[in-house]
Amino acid sequence: MTQPTAQGFPNIAGLFDLAGKEAVVVGAASGLGQATAIGLADAGARVVCADLNSQGAQATADIIAERGGQATATGADITSTAAVDALAADHAGAEILVVTPGMNVRKRLVNTTDEEFDRVVDINLKGTYRLMRAFGARMAAAGRGSIVVFASFRALVVEPGQGLYAAAKAGVVQLTKAMASELGPQGVRVNAILPGPFETPLTEQIKADRTWWDAYADKSALARWGLLPEIAGPVLFLASDASSYVTGHSLLVDGGWMAQDGRFTPSV
């Protein structure tokens, strides 16, 4: 992008326009992934709604179609290298990849098992790695692309019972930096979203405990939980040309959680 002139300064609104671009959103069946898919479609992208829950992915694609957008649905098992490679091959022209899946085992570390560790790492960290690797290689060959992965504010701060999840999401942050460094010369940007407390299927255990739920709201500077549509804007920024000089970044979307002190110890 050149220095701005009266005639040459870009239309900023246009930088957010994703018309003509294909975006693959993995984890699109529900929660933050669904909100992301809808938001990118609203911005003009042709969205591929991918999820292990293929019926849920189709439901998201149907919502997008009802809103006048373009979307298709497909199954996606991020614990399978073959399945991830096939997804990337089927959508080799995708310019945007968003990786949202996550799973948590809320137990203190001394009470966890090897199997739980493997499951949390395989979905949160290795699944993200598989997708970044498969799509990143194709984007690098094409000389363009934006990868947005979901980590968590738990990559930076923890509470009792979040150790496995926090460790895996911290790994996602480091993968983001590494791939941003490696693929930057080929025109591919890689960034991470670090959500704070949003009501999703992943936080149902917290919602069931009113004290825990209220403590999370009170901890945020905005004194509330995030609303699902509030994730779409930050993702759109990182996915679009509006962030053309942003890569290797971890963007907190946490309602100001990290801006102030305080902690709650849940009974897990």
What tens digit of pLDDT does each residue of 7-40 get?
778 899 999 999 999 999 999 999 999 999 999 9
Mean pLDDT throughout 210-227?
91
Q: What is the CATH number of domain 17-253?
A: 3.40.50.720
Report pLDDT for 2: 53
Catalytic residue annotation: 165
Q: How far apart are CA 46 and CA 32, in angstroms?
A: 18
Reported confidence tier of residue 3, pLDDT bands at 50, 70, 90: low
How do the domains of the chain map onto residue ranges?
17-253
3-state helix, strand, coil in the chain (%, to 5): 50, 15, 35
Q: How far apart are CA 75 and CA 92, in angstroms?
A: 16
Amino acid at site 157: V
**What are the residues facing 75 on neighbouring strands?**
51
| pTM check: above 0.85 | yes
Closest CA to 163 of 127, 207, 121, 101: 121
Report in angstroms the alpha-carbon separations of 82 from 220, 236, 256: 40, 29, 39
Q: How far apart are CA 54 and CA 74, in angstroms?
A: 6
Per residue in 159-214, pLDDT (tens digit) is 899 999 999 999 999 999 999 999 999 999 999 999 999 988 878 888 888 998 89
Report pLDDT for 169: 98
